[in-house]
Chains A and B, each alone.
Chain A
Amino acid sequence: MEELDKLQQFQQKIDAEKKIEPKDWMPEDYRKHLIRQISQHAHSEVIGMQPEGNWITRAPSLRSKIILLAKIQDEAGHGLYLYSAAETLGISREEMINQLHTGKAKYSSIFNYPSLTWADIGAIGWLVDGAAIVNQVSLQRTSYGPYSRAMIKICMEESFHQRQGYEIMAKMAQGTPEQKEMAQDALNRWWWPSLMMFGPHDNESAHTGNAMKWKIKRETNDELRQKFIDKTVQQAEVIGLTIPDPDLKWNEERGHYDFGEIDWEEFWRVVNGNGPCNKKRLNHHKKVHEEGRWVREAAAAYAKKQKNKQIAA
């Protein structure tokens, strides 16, 4: 009975648009859902550093190198905020990393695609950060306080990233024929995976029901995807690039773009581990984590010595 009362109060709070804070009572499933979602989000920020980091040493100008370095640094910062937000729910970062390594926790499948040319750095900023923003703007209103606040902080930076990525694409699209070809090719390769970032159709998404009721998610996968497409199509037109979808067409009646069917077979294949880079990304993370062990141990040993000295003094 008491449990039921609590649940009712919890739902009332959510319905009244009040934030849930770490010390508040929450249903176990709400906690679990958030841990899964926030840790997945944190891991995505971190794994995403790999395809972008791949081009730092080959960035073609000092300015572009500086912008890329700053961007990846932002993403690492996002990872840190999000790990902290998840920690308020009673899981440690080490546990989350462990779950990533065992495959229990996932990260965004988009980062299982390779960054092959410099234009990919433009495409990632423009499309991947662009898609992330649509999702994250929506999550600013999520019901869990620490997650919501992390999103507000992160969104400002993401919009910079999106603009900077678009700028790279614009420059290349208006550059030499080779540059234009690279830009179009990058768009061709990143477009569909970007649409997949929003997840399966609403009727096939396992987690949508409760997440909407608890206002963890505020808009459905399909709504968010449509928003992203609507805002991106014109941006492509402006710089003279073609979205690789022959079915893409403005629908006057709906006030939205219609678009072709996503290759869901590819989506599930990559989610389930068989994208071009799944193994590379995860192995890299594991290897680096292992290589850093002696450093973390040394820092812990040093901190302990200092503490003992303080106690002795």
Chain B
Amino acid sequence: MTTQEALFKYTLRIGDNDLILGHRLAEWCSYGPTLEEDLALTNIALDLTGEAQALLQYAAEVEGKGRSADDLAYKRPERQFYNSIITELPKGDFGYSIVRQFLFDAYELPFFQMLTKSKDETLSAIAHKAVKEVKYHLRHSANWVIRLGDGTEESHNRVQKSLNDLWEYTGELFEMDEVDETVLKEGIGVDLTLVKAEWDETVNKVLAEATLTRPEDGWMQTGAKREGIHSEYLGYILTDMQYLPRAYPDAQW
């Protein structure tokens, strides 16, 4: 695997995570439990989609085949997406989306913080910008995990169940393969074992404050980030997302 090939896939993985999770969050528009939350969730969706745009544009440049960020978002088939499965799971109730968001934010913040040190100037610049946004995302989701966990009996039970259901999808975020090893060796990528250590710390702290129980690690779902083997949900996301560009391939929007 050349550095260029690794960098392309590496950048796609980060960008796809943001694109797909941003898409799921955007589904909250007009569905929020309060108007303030409606606004907050679409705001985070907006940040993530913006980050995805920058990352996919860079991925397209790295690939060097004349594709654009939009080509990558709107013309790639399911099996060429490399987001982790946790980002594509249906939005569920508010608690489920919040727990998912928290688990992801707690990963993405240290990830982008470390990526600011990348020797790749573009990735470093994107990471710098993203860190500011993701700090806010994590504060928002952590606060809600605490409020819901330590709120009413109903809210506690709901988010504990969401946490239990989502746990098996957290392992994939920290998997490292040849792609990661290659970019890590070049000083471009991030050591995910270090990200995992920070993630553990954040998760343990917030769950304790939320009076929630951290699930035991068991089997961890895998396959999407490495080789594009996804859950059944991704196909439906792409069906919506790619409908217009695929139905009218000659059109500019």
Contacts and interface: CB of A to CB of B under 8 A. Distances in A.
* Chain B: interface size category: 35 or more
Contacts of A53: 29-30
A77 B155 contact: no
Interface in B233-253: 237, 240-241, 243-245, 248, 250-253
Nearest to A117: B244
Interface string A169-195: 001100110110000000000000000
A171 B42 contact: no
B35 A56 contact: no
A63 B53 contact: yes
A295 B31 CA distance: 12
A46 B150 CA distance: 30
A297 B69 CA distance: 42
Nearest to B26: A56
B175 interface: no
Given A291-B33, A295-B95, A69 B26 contact: yes
Interface stretch (B44-52, B110-118, B212-220, B224-232): B44-52
Interface stretch (A99-107, A141-149, A265-273, A299-307): A299-307
A62 B56 contact: yes
B241 A176 contact: no
A79 B70 CA distance: 32
A239 interface: no
Contacts of A291: 31, 33, 93-94
A295 B46 contact: no
A49 interface: yes
Interface string B134-171: 00000000000011101110110010000000000000
* Chain A: interface size category: 35 or more
A88 B148 CA distance: 30
A294 B155 contact: yes
A1 interface: no
Contact of B70 (A62, A77, A83): A62
Contacts of B52: 62
A61 interface: yes
Interface string A145-174: 000000000000000000000001001100
A57 B43 CA distance: 15
A291 B154 CA distance: 13
Given A80-B35, A178-B251, A73 B46 contact: yes
A298 B148 contact: yes
Contact of B150 (A77, A118, A305): A305
B2 interface: no
B148 A295 contact: yes
Given A58-B241, A175-B252, A299 B147 contact: yes
A95 B37 CA distance: 19
A292 interface: yes
Contacts of B147: 298-299, 302
Contacts of A70: 46
By DSSP majority rule, is chain A's interface helix, strand, loop, or mixed?
A: helix
A115 B172 CA distance: 39
A64 B69 CA distance: 13
Nearest to A47: B30
A291 B70 CA distance: 35
B151 A72 contact: no
A235 B9 CA distance: 45
Which of A58, A171, A299 has most B Cβ within 10 Å? A299
Contacts of A118: 244, 253
B36 interface: yes
B146 A60 contact: no
Contacts of B90: none
A34 interface: no
Contacts of A305: 150
B240 A58 contact: yes
Contact of B252 (A76, A80, A171, A292): A171
B74 A69 contact: no
A60 B34 contact: no
A286 interface: no
Given A62-B70, A73-B42, A57 B154 contact: no
Given A176-B248, A297-B151, A66 B46 contact: yes
A295 B150 CA distance: 12
B195 interface: no
A118 B243 CA distance: 11
Contacts of A18: none
B131 interface: no
A292 B35 CA distance: 11
B45 A69 contact: yes
A235 to B, nearest CB: 20
Given A62-B49, A295-B94, 6 more contacts: A49-B38, A57-B241, A76-B42, A178-B251, A288-B31, A293-B33
7 contacts: A49-B30, A60-B245, A61-B74, A72-B29, A292-B37, A295-B148, A301-B152
9 A-B pairs closest in CB distance: A292-B33, A298-B151, A298-B155, A60-B244, A295-B33, A53-B29, A60-B253, A76-B39, A302-B147
